Amino acid sequence: MMALSFPIAAPQAADSIGRQLEADVQLLLPVVEPQRLKTVFGLKLLARTNDQWIDTVHEVAVSATALGFYDVGTLELEKPIPGSQNNSDTYGLRGGQPFRIDATVIHENWPPPSDPGTAVTA
C-alpha cells in the first residue's frame, strides 16, 4: 500500500478527524493517482482558515464515499462543468449514467457573537 501524506494546517483538529482523513485518502489511492490527489487536495489542506480546512476534509470524505456510488473505475475529481467556470467535486457514472456530487458544508458560528450593548432575552 502506498502512503500519501498531506500537511495539516489545523493542529487544533481532533485526532479522529485526522485518522478519518487518512482512511479516506487510503480508499482513494487505488483509483486516483497520488499526484492527482495532491493536486486536488494538497493546497486546500493548507487552508488559511479552519472553515476552509473543514470544507476540504468533507470534500475528501465525499470523494471516498462516492466510490461506492459510482460505477467502478469512473470516479473523476474536479471535472470541469461544460459551459461553466466551476467543476464538480466528484464525477462518475452510475448504471452508465453521468452524475456529479459536490460537497457543501454549512458553518455555524455558535454561540453567536454577542454585542456587549445588547441585552439577551429568553
Q: Encode pLDDT of 33-89 as tens digits.
A: 999 999 999 888 888 888 888 899 999 999 999 999 999 999 999 999 999 999 999
Q: Does some domain include residue 57? A: yes
Give the pLDDT of residue 119: 56
Residue 70 near residue 100, CB atoms below 8 Å: no
Q: Read off the pLDDT of each residue in 4-27 and give the average, rounded to a whole number.
A: 71
Q: Give the distance from CA 79 to its chain's centroid.
A: 14
Better-predicted residue by pLDDT, 15 or 71: 71
Q: Does some domain include residue 79? A: yes
Give the 3-state secondary structure of residue 116: coil
Q: Rounded to an integer, what distance in angstroms lies between the CA atom of residue 60 and that of residue 40?
A: 10
Q: Who contacts 114 (Cβ-Cβ below 8 Å, separation ≥6)?
A: 120
Give phi and psi for 90, each to the nearest 5. -135, 150
Q: Encode pLDDT of 73-117 as tens digits.
A: 999 999 999 999 999 999 999 999 999 999 988 888 777 666 666
CA-based nearest residue to 108, from 51, 61, 57: 51
Number of domains in the chain: 1
Residue 69 structural domain: 15-101
